[in-house]
Amino acid sequence: MDKELLAMLVCPLCNGKLKYDREAQELRCHYDGLAYPIQEGIPVMLPEAARAMDADEKLPTSPGRSAGSASGSSGGV
């Protein structure tokens, strides 16, 4: 997908940034929990065409962050 086009696209509901999922061929809005399909290289930015993401998909993931680790805390209670 063209990087310039990706930079211009926003969620049609909240105007938030979208994350490109190359494997699934989707643009995901984690705020609204919707995944917009990319069909034949063209993003379909219609809310009625979007797929509702499940709870696990809505959670942001970042490299180096493991489940159950408390970020920013140091030491005991």
Summarised one tens digit per residue, pLDDT across range 8-66 is: 999 999 999 999 999 999 999 999 999 999 999 999 999 999 999 998 887 765 454 44
pLDDT value for 55: 86
pTM of the model: 0.72
pLDDT value for 8: 93
pLDDT value for 60: 63
The count of other CB atoms within 10 Å of the CB of residue 74 is 5
Say if residue 55 is exposed, middle or buried (CB neighbours under 10 Å; 0-12, 13-18, 19+).
exposed
**Interior angle at CA 19, CA 71 and CA 27, nearest 5:** 145
- How far is it, in rounded angstroms, from Cα 24 to Cα 35? 9
